[in-house]
A and B are shown apart, each in its own frame.
Chain A
Amino acid sequence: MNSTNMLLAAPELWVMVMACVILIVDLYLGEERRGIIHMLAILTLVFAAIITLRADYAADGVREAFAFNGSYIRDTMGDVLKLFSFLILAIVYTYAKFCLRQFRMFRADFYTLSLFALLGVMLLISANSLVMIYLGLELISLSSYALVAFDRDSRLGSEAAIKYFVLGSMASGMLLYGMSMIYGATGTMDLGQVAQAVRSVGSDDPLLVFGLVFLVVGLAFKLGVVPFHMWIPDVYQGAPVVTTLFISSVPKMAAFAMAIRLLQTGLVDMQADWSQMLSILAVLSIILGNVAAIAQTNIKRMLAYSTISHMGFVLMGLLPGTAMGYGAGMFYVIVYSLMSAAGFGMVILLSARGVEAEKLDDFKGLNQRNSWYAAIMAMVMFSMAGVPVFVGFFAKWMVIKAALDAGLMWLAIIAVIFSVVGAFYYLRVVKLMYFDEPLTEAEIDAPVDFRAAISLNGIMMIGLGIFSSSLIAVCMASFGA
């Protein structure tokens, strides 16, 4: 073990130290100076990004390096996902500061817990052993449970936290059970060695197949795909909107990385088995997510069902087992996180004086109240629906193309049909904003950093769409496609 190796984990170390610093600094700050916490958190993210970018570990073209006896891996995929996590978390913090102030919940707990969750996200993205995957996941989950119950006086929030906790623990149990079987069959925790052992044991060893089933179930719970999606709508609706904003964006990237590490790095030889399971999950999610979202009148709940269908698309990228497909899935999950952040950012923007604007009706006539915000929301909705030019279209396009290349025609057809069905409820929001009378004439007011962030976030929907090729190229390059 040498120290240069450990320096690979410098971004993680930095985030951990800063989370602790913020924890302690807050103890000495009064209510009125809590803005410092926000500044420190943003600073943490900026420097984490710089440290990540400055890392120089590429040796003869292979951007891949290991530390901590192979339990930690730095590669391009990990770095890109981490950088986007920092970006999205910075956006989330900008939205959150405004929201927490309005709801009189501006406590440092939100920042410390979400920074620790970010640490979990980073560790999970960089995990190269079963035990690190589990620990990273638990770090995210534990912080998220607390964040869901963040508003202690809200009955819905507490209920959501309990549901999330019980189902999440069950999922962790499943995952751990699966991992223990994989460990029993291969005798190693290291994912690279697991792959080798699978090759020598043979991929139809019953213990391995058992383990895989439980792993996929645990994974599906965490991603929130049908039939393991039950917690998503309740948690998204019950949690305070800042928490929903957070858990719907950043951890999804970690969940994607977890799927890649487990299935592609560790169990690549069992691709025939897991591809089958994932295709069922993907189809069910795309169908149920889009159909159930139509019936919703609560926008948080509607976006929750839309998440389920988006995660179905991400799985669709994974299941062909091709480099193209992995790249498409990665692009999709990044795009989804940005869209989700913008969507919940708009909900925060419309929430006034401690009442969340969680009804669809709250968006009525937004164009008359403020046409720029209406335009942003329209861009987000178009992007989520997959209207061409917007970035969401390219994400869907890449995923469907990957499925077609793998000869999964039926899957592609279902995905297209239900994307069209899904477009209905996204466009309904646009219709409400532009063709209905507003329920209130109250002015929409937000601090300048919030306005800047949401404008940037909205412009990304179309900007990333027009210039999508470079991001797609980066995603593809991560998997050598």
Chain B
Amino acid sequence: MPIYEIVFYAFSLVMLAGAVGVITVRNPVYAALCLVLTFFSASAIWMLLEAEFLAIILIVVYVGAVMVLFLFVVMMLDINVAPLKEGFIRYLPVGILVAALMAAELLVLIWSKGRFEAGAYPLPAPNPEEYSNTKAVGEWLFTNYLLAFEVAGVILLVAIIAAVALTLRHRAGGHRQNPSHQVRVERDERVRLVKMKPEPRQGS
């Protein structure tokens, strides 16, 4: 099925290009958009592996929510790009050295320990027609990975607590509406009837 290969290589190329873009473009907004492109292509590749639930979650959560927050932060924060680049030349030799070392280590490892041949990790056999990846995720997540699932809930809870603990501060003299108070208000609190004698109009 050549179309499978074509789609795979097309999205892989776009993903790699996007990933390179993230770290090379100067404008942080463009970088964030490149990351969106990378996520999107990755999701397409997951789709090719028949992991449709994960693919869609990647788009919904990462592209939809996380990246929007990213863009939000990048655009709203007062980031001056020039000072960020200042140390670039100074740290470049060290960076290149570390990167070269890592690359060399990886290459040595591949050469000495055997290669990743194409045949060594074959494509998984396609699933039967009625197979649903979402159902498979559900069946595993809530039984075999039950503990992991509940701990994920705790981590989300901690994220809430941390976010509130770090960012929330009530300022003195802040104005805030209290809807229940607004609804429960009585007439006496708003209107004061004053009894007074009728006064004749001046000058008549």
Contacts and interface: CB of A to CB of B under 8 A. Distances in A.
B143 A69 contact: yes
Contacts of B116: 206-207
Contact of B109 (A20, A129, A210): A210
Given A132-B147, A206-B110, A210-B109, A143 B154 contact: no
Contacts of B155: 135, 138-139, 142
A116 B161 contact: yes
B159 A142 contact: yes
B146 A68 contact: yes
A69 B157 CA distance: 24
B87 interface: no
A144 to B, nearest CB: 10
B147 A146 contact: no
7 contacts: A68-B147, A116-B158, A119-B154, A136-B151, A139-B155, A146-B158, A184-B121
A142 B151 CA distance: 13
Contact of A123 (B110, B151, B161): B151
Q: Majority SS of interface residues in chain B?
A: helix
Interface string B100-128: 00000110011001111000010000000
A71 B155 CA distance: 17
Contacts of B144: 69, 71
Nearest to B160: A23
B74 to A, nearest CB: 16
Interface stretch (B15-23, B27-35, B162-170, B174-182): B162-170
B69 to A, nearest CB: 15
A462 to B, nearest CB: 38
Given A145-B162, A146-B165, A210-B109, A71 B145 contact: yes
B54 to A, nearest CB: 14
Given A135-B155, A146-B165, 12 more contacts: A16-B154, A20-B157, A69-B146, A109-B165, A113-B161, A142-B155, A145-B162, A149-B166, A150-B165, A184-B121, A206-B110, A206-B114
B152 interface: yes
A204 interface: yes
Contacts of B158: 113, 116, 139, 142-143, 146
Given A68-B146, A132-B148, A210-B109, A139 B154 contact: yes
A49 interface: no
Q: Which size bracket describes the interface of A in this complex?
A: 35 or more
Contacts of A149: 166
Interface string A146-187: 100110100000000000000000000000000000001000
A342 to B, nearest CB: 28
A134 B65 CA distance: 23
A16 B169 CA distance: 26
B98 to A, nearest CB: 10
Contacts of A71: 144-145, 147-148
B148 A143 contact: no
Contacts, number: 82
A324 to B, nearest CB: 31
Contact of B151 (A139, A150, A209): A139
Given A112-B161, A206-B113, A146 B166 contact: yes
Contacts of A112: 161
A72 B161 CA distance: 26
A209 B158 CA distance: 34
Nearest to B114: A206
B148 A146 contact: no
Nearest to A131: B148
Interface of B: 105-106, 109-110, 113-116, 121, 143-148, 151-152, 154-155, 157-159, 161-162, 165-166, 169
A71 B116 CA distance: 30
Nearest to A119: B154
A1 interface: yes
Contact of B147 (A9, A20, A139, A206): A9
A209 B113 contact: yes
Contact of B113 (A72, A107, A116, A204): A204
B7 to A, nearest CB: 22
A131 B152 CA distance: 11
Interface in A57-104: 67-69, 71-72
A135 B146 CA distance: 13
A287 to B, nearest CB: 20
B143 A1 contact: yes
Contacts of B152: 135
Nearest to B163: A146
Nearest to A69: B144
Contact of B162 (A107, A113, A136, A207): A113
B25 to A, nearest CB: 21
A135 B151 CA distance: 7
Interface string A1-22: 1000000010000001000100
Contacts of A449: none
Contacts of B146: 1, 68-69
Given A69-B144, A123-B151, A142 B113 contact: no
A205 interface: yes
Interface in A109-138: 109, 112-113, 116, 119, 123, 129, 131-132, 135-136, 138
B113 A109 contact: no
Contacts of B110: 206
Contacts of B105: 213
A12 to B, nearest CB: 9
B113 to A, nearest CB: 4
Contacts of B154: 16, 116, 119, 139
Most buried by A among B110, B114, B162: B162
Given A113-B161, A142-B159, A131 B145 contact: yes
The 8 closest A-B CB pairs, nearest first, are A146-B162, A68-B147, A206-B113, A109-B165, A135-B151, A69-B144, A116-B158, A131-B148
A16 B114 CA distance: 47
Nearest to B151: A135
B161 A146 contact: yes
A268 to B, nearest CB: 19
